[in-house]
Each structure stands twice: as structure tokens, then as C-alpha cells.
Amino acid sequence: MTSTTVARNVVTGLRDLGVRHIFGVPSGGWVDYMEAIRTTDGIDFVLASHEGGAGFMADVCGRLTGVPGVCFGTFGPGATNLATGVGGATLDRSPMLALTDEMPAPLRGRTVQMGIDHQALFAPLTKATMRIAADSATDTLAEAARIALSGRPGAVHVGLPQGMSAQAVEAQAIGAVEADPLPMPDPAATAALVAAFAAAERPVLAIGLGAVHAGVQDRIAALAERFGLPVLLTPMAKGMIAEDHPNYAGVLFHALSDMVGQTHAEADLVVAIGYDPIEFNYESWMKDGLALASVDVAPIDIDRDKHPVAAEVVGAIAPALDALLALPAASKDWDLAGLAARKAAMFAKLAGRDGAFGPCAALDVLRDVLPDNGIMTCDVGAHTHLIGQHWRTPKPGTQIMTNGWSAMGFGLPAAIAAKLCRPDTPVCCVLGDGGFLMTAGELATAVREKLPLVIVIFTDNDLALIRIKQEKKSNPIYGTPVRAEGTIGGPSLFGVPVTVARDPAEFRAALVAGFAADGPVIVEALLDSREYDDLVLRKDKQ
């Protein structure tokens, strides 16, 4: 047997899993792993400015590649910083391996500087938590990857006991790792689904993130067209059906959700396909008494006293949809012309308008400049609600947001990871000025990695969602202005040039120049946040 070290077994094992980048902030205990990365082809370490940003980067790598993203944090504060990104991967359903230093066995439970129980810390934030042993590190990594990929994907924490990395061990290979196969749906449950669907006069399709993972986009379009059904999307399922498709009915929870609600208020059955309530629970938008039929990899989470469950199909999603598609084609009792008129009215309200430069006009310009194959990531804030409803998304994965976790500071690290995973694809991010301040240090990461990246900052000096809620309660505005006035800074930040745009024409010119640049650029749009007031935080139930 060939002798090697624990560190090299871990690094080559990750490389052989398909991991190409490990994101983090190094520690003394990580030095042997970094040297193994440096001398191993096909895998690189990416120094982040903050462990939380490293976690977000690993999350997005997992989403885009289907291989668990990997991040690292050291003891105590390194691990707690990392935890923000780790929780995001679990609740946004992205496969991830979160690595941390851990105390060697003799010091666990002792009073030690920076010493906390990482297994306990990560237990509620992950699908599983474990630690390596010297002679079985690759077996542990393979098990962690399998768990991360299976069912609803998520994060798995793996502790690396300090002092073990240089230990001599036998070289270990890691075989192919795949997600656990999903069970075939129970025939009786599928029969109940078919019966409920056949009996319904106005069933509506509600499509969630699980449908994206299942790759059933074509089946959903075929089902909607075969039976004349409206299709609702959750925000993270954007791209599963085109906005200009005649059966598209809008995105739940985001801007003008009251207009979307006019459609699902007319339904007599919700057929939920891969619907994950981590984005938006059923009770918040389904009218009381409305029946549900669910097709997903996990059981339903719903108040069954309010909503009768007509069918619950758990397992592989595609076979259940095939059973519905086998029914004779017959249009249900939906007024698709009325749906089209309602959708047109909704999009008209979201279009850019004359007067003060607002976020709707800025999104219109950005959508026109960014090619259809480009990727736009976004942060959390009022602009996210506009993006969810208004941003034309040609296919899943071309718009990337966090909704299950909804952490401000996500957008910039997400764009960095997207560009690393898709170097030939145009990538931009849209950030509010509040969210930008949370991870502004990752600009240094973009510069260090020499990433052509357009960073769009919507500057309105306002935490608009909270300000709107204050005003709805007739409370004074307090604690929500980001600054009294002005821009985010000078002509450059961390070596990234900044162009300020005060109207759509300036904004367009700055974007065109930005996408032609050979490194990261910031385009700061000075916007009027009052445009949000009539568009977001609308009533979801009718």
C-alpha cells in the first residue's frame, strides 16, 4: 500500500468527488490541507474575506454543479461565521460539505481557547454532522456527500480534528458517490392523485424547488398545456415555465402577490409538484378549505385541519406526472384569456415608468443588457421581491437567490461562485446598499480571482421592506436609513471601479461597459425606493 497523509487523502478524495474549489479562511490546522490542495491538480483553495461569504460561495457551487460545494472555517468564531452560509445551504436545498477544525479527542469537553462543540453547533443547521478518523477519512467524506445529495439536498458538517492532518496513513481512493435512489411512488397514492385531478374542475399547479431538482420542466409544461392549467411558481423555481407562456400565472409571495392570488383563489385543487414550504408555507396563500394534492420527495407539511389532503405521493416525481399525462386530454374550467389579461396587467405595473429613476426601470435595463444565457444573482431586500415577479428567467439556474434562508449578504458571494463555476458565462449580481455592506469585503475576493463580474448596487439609502412595514403600522421611520444621503463610496472600492448612474441611459451605458471589462466593476444605480411601496408586501390570500 502507498503511504500518504490524512490531509492528502481528504483533498484527493474531494477532488475525485468532483469538487473544484474549497472556500474559506485558513487556520494553522488547515495548513497541511492547503499544501495538499496546492500540489493536487484539479482543485483550488479560494480565500474568502469572511467565512459566511465562503459558505454562500460553496452553496452556489453545489447548486450549479450538482457536486457538493465545500467550505472551511476554524475553531469557534470561524465556525460560527461559517454557520450562516451552512444554514443557507440546508434551507435553500444545496448540497454542501462544511469542514471545520475540531479539538483533538483529549481536549474535547475541556476549557480551551476558542473551544466550542462544533458537532452541537452544526446539528440544527445541517442534515448530519460527523468527524473524520485518520484511517477512514475518505469513507466519511463519501458518506457525507451521499447524505448531502440525497432527498432534499443540504449541508453536512465534517469535523477535522487538529493534529491529524500530517499523520501517515495508507492512500485511499474515493469511489463514485450518488444520491440515494428515490422510491417509486406508491400505486395507491398515485391512483388517488389521478382521481383527485380528474374530479377537479379548476386545479392549479404550484411548482417548487423540488421540481427543479427533479428535472421535470418539460412534463410540467406538457401537463399545463394538455389540461389548460395555470402554473404558479415559488421564487426559487423561476425558469420552470417561461413568463410569456400562456399558462404562466406568476410567482407566489413576491411583488403584486395579491394579483397572483386572484388566480389561485379560483382553484378547487392545488396540485403541488416539488413544492417545498421552506420558501412559503401553504397556509399563507391557500384559501381555507382548499384541497391539496402533493407530489414530492418528502411528506406534506401542512395544517390538515384547514386543508384536506386529496393525495400525497412521496418519492420520484416524474412517474406521478406521467400518470397524470396519461389521462385523456381535456381542458379544465379555466379562463386562460382572463389569466392572460391579469398577467399583462401585473407586468404593466412592474414595468419601468417615467419620472424618478426606480428599481423597475433599472431591472428592465439590466434584463435587456444581460444575455439570456447570463446568470444574475441577487441579495435579500425589497428588490428581491421585484426580481421574483418581474425578472424574465429563461431557465432554472439563470437567476439565483436565497429564499429558504433569506440571508442578506448572499448576492455578491453567490455571483463570485457562479463566475468560478461558469467562467464563460456573463454574470452579474443585484444588491441593495444595505446587503452590500454586509459582504463588501468579498470585493477583494473578486479582484484576487480576476473575475469579470458586474456588481449592480441599488442605492436608495433605505431598508425599504422594514420602512414600509413601519409606515403600515403608522410608526415613525427609525433605524432603517442606511445613510443620510449620497453614494456607497468613492470612484473605487477594494480596487473595483465604481460608476454611478442616475437615470436609465447612464445605467445602460455603465452596464455595457461593465460587461466588456476584464475584471469586476460596480455599477451603482441611485434609485427612488418609494416605487416599492405599491408593489411589495401585498396580500397573498383573497
Give residue-wise pLDDT tens across range 40-51.
999 999 999 999
At residue 113 the predicted structure's pLDDT band, cuts being 50, 70 and 90, is confident
For residues 89-102, give the mean pLDDT: 98
Rounded to whole angstroms, the Cα distance separating 336 from 195 reads 23
Rounded to whole angstroms, the Cα distance separating 216 from 224 reads 12
Q: What is the pLDDT of residue 2?
A: 86
**Which residues on neighbouring strands pair with residue 72, listed in sequence order?**
24, 99
Q: What is the pLDDT of residue 488?
A: 78
Predicted structure pTM score = 0.94
Note the Cα 161 to chain centre separation in Å.
31
DSSP for 222-242 reads HHHHHHT--EEE-GGGTTSS-
For residues 380-402, give the mean pLDDT: 96
Is residue 166 within 8 A of residue 3, CB to CB? The reply is no
C-alpha cell belonging to residue 101: 477544525
Q: Is the dihedral angle over the CA atoms 368, 372, 374, 378 positive or is it negative? A: positive
Rounded to whole angstroms, the Cα distance separating 98 from 86 reads 7
For the CA atoms of 277, 278, 283, 289, the dihedral, rounded to the nearest 10 degrees, stands at: 10
DSSP 73: E
Rounded to whole angstroms, the Cα distance separating 56 from 404 reads 13
Output the average pLDDT for the chain. Answer: 95
Give residue-wise pLDDT tens across range 206-229.
999 999 999 999 999 999 999 999
Coil/strand/helix, residue 428 = strand
Give residue-wise pLDDT tens across range 233-275.
999 999 999 999 999 999 999 999 999 999 999 999 999 999 9
Q: What is the pLDDT of residue 226?
A: 98
At residue 353 the predicted structure's pLDDT band, cuts being 50, 70 and 90, is confident
For residues 319-329, give the mean pLDDT: 98
Helical (H) or strand (E) element with 14: helix 6-17
Q: What is the pLDDT of residue 485?
A: 66
Is the pLDDT assigned to residue 119 strictly greater than 90?
yes
Note the Cα 479 to chain centre separation in Å.
28
Say if residue 176 is exposed, middle or buried (CB neighbours under 10 Å; 0-12, 13-18, 19+): exposed
Q: What is the pLDDT of residue 1?
A: 65
Q: Which residues lie below 8 Å from residue 474, measured CB to CB, with a gap of 6+?
A: none
Neighbours of 352 (CB within 10 A): 17
Give the Cα-Cα-Cα angle 506, 498, 505 (nearest 5 degrees): 5
Is residue 308 within 8 A of residue 192, CB to CB? The reply is no
Q: What is the largest CA-CA distance in the chain?
A: 74
Q: Which residues of 410-444 are buried (b: 16+ CB within 10 A; e: fewer)?
A: bbbbbbbbbbbbbeeebbbbbbbbbbbbbbbebbb
Is residue 461 within 8 A of residue 433, CB to CB? The reply is yes
Rounded to whole angstroms, the Cα distance separating 23 from 32 reads 16
Q: What is the pLDDT of residue 478?
A: 84
Is residue 531 within 8 A of residue 358, CB to CB? The reply is yes
Rounded to whole angstroms, the Cα distance separating 188 from 97 reads 37
At residue 111 the predicted structure's pLDDT band, cuts being 50, 70 and 90, is confident
Coil/strand/helix, residue 126 = coil
Neighbours of 530 (CB within 10 A): 14
For the CA atoms of 301, 304, 310, 316, the dihedral, rounded to the nearest 10 degrees, stands at: 10
Note the Cα 450 to chain centre separation in Å.
24
Percent of the chain scoring above 90 in pLDDT: 87
In sequence order, which ranges of 351-391 are alpha helices (DSSP H)? 359-369, 382-390
Rounded to whole angstroms, the Cα distance separating 371 from 388 reads 18
Nearest C-alpha neighbor of 173 from the set 144, 141, 129: 141
For the CA atoms of 202, 208, 213, 215, the dihedral, rounded to the nearest 10 degrees, stands at: 30
Give residue-wise pLDDT tens across range 496-509.
999 999 999 999 99
Q: Which residues of 30-61 are buried (b: 16+ CB within 10 A; e: fewer)?
A: bebbbbbbeeeeebbbbebbbbbbbbbbbbbb
The pair phi, psi for residue 277, each rounded to 5°, is -65, -5
Q: In the β-sheet with 375-378, what is the strand arrangement from edge to edge?
A: 399-400, 375-378, 427-432, 454-459, 521-526, 496-501, 492-493
Choose between 542 and 516: higher pLDDT: 516
Q: What is the pLDDT of residue 489?
A: 78
Residue with cell 431557465: 395
Coil/strand/helix, residue 496 = strand
Give residue-wise pLDDT tens across range 1-25.
689 999 999 999 999 999 999 999 9
**Which residues on neighbouring strands pair with residue 449, listed in sequence order?**
none
Percent of the chain scoring above 70 in pLDDT: 99
Is the pLDDT assigned to residue 184 strictly greater than 90?
yes
Give residue-wise pLDDT tens across range 155-176.
999 999 999 999 999 999 898 8
Is the pLDDT assigned to residue 486 strictly greater than 70?
no
Give the Cα-Cα-Cα angle 298, 242, 292 (nearest 5 degrees): 35
Coil/strand/helix, residue 301 = coil
Is the pLDDT assigned to residue 482 strictly greater than 90?
no
Is the pLDDT assigned to residue 464 strictly greater than 80?
no
